[in-house]
Amino acid sequence: MIPIGSDHAGYPLKEALKKMLDARGVEYIDMGTHSTESVDYPDFAKIVAEKVHDGTYDRGILVCGSGEGVCMTANRFPNVRAALVWQPEVAVTSRTHNDANILCLPGRFMDDTMAEEVLDIFLNTPFEGGRHTRRVEKMTNIHPSDKA
C-alpha cells in the first residue's frame, strides 16, 4: 500500500498516477486533496510523510506544482528520504544511491508519460546498499548540532 497526496496544483497528476497504480495492481490510499480548489501543500505532505516516518507504509508519493514544497515538508520528518524527481535518471539514483522512500513530482512541469516512467523506476528499483548504506545511515542519524 502506498499513500499518495497532493495539493491543488498536483491534483491532476495525482489522479493520473492513481490510474497508473491501478493498472499495475499497486494498492494505494489517497490522502487528498480531492479537487483543484486551492489548499496548502504542507497539510497533505505531512499526512503522507507521517505514515512513512512511523513505518505504517514503506513508501509514499507526493505531488505539488513544483514538487519542491511537498519535498521540503516531507524531509522534515525523521526516517523520510523524499526525492524531487523530474527525469528518469534522477529517479534511478534517488532509489539506488539514496534509498528514497517518498517520490515528489512537479505536477505543473511533468507530463503523464514522464510521470509514468519515473513511477515505474521508483516502484521497481532497489536500493544498491554497499557504500551507499553508510551515507543513508548518516542522513538518518544526523543532528543539527553535529560537527561537520
- Report d(CA 145, CA 30) in Å as an integer: 37
The answer to whether 84 and 67 are in contact (CB under 8 A) is yes
Whether 8 is catalytic: no
Among candidate residues 53, 64, 71, 104, the one labeled active-site is 64
Whether 64 is catalytic: yes
Among candidate residues 97, 104, 132, 143, the one labeled active-site is 97
CA distance readout (Å), 146 to 25, 106, 134, 138: 43, 32, 16, 11
Q: Which residues carry out catalysis?
A: 64, 97
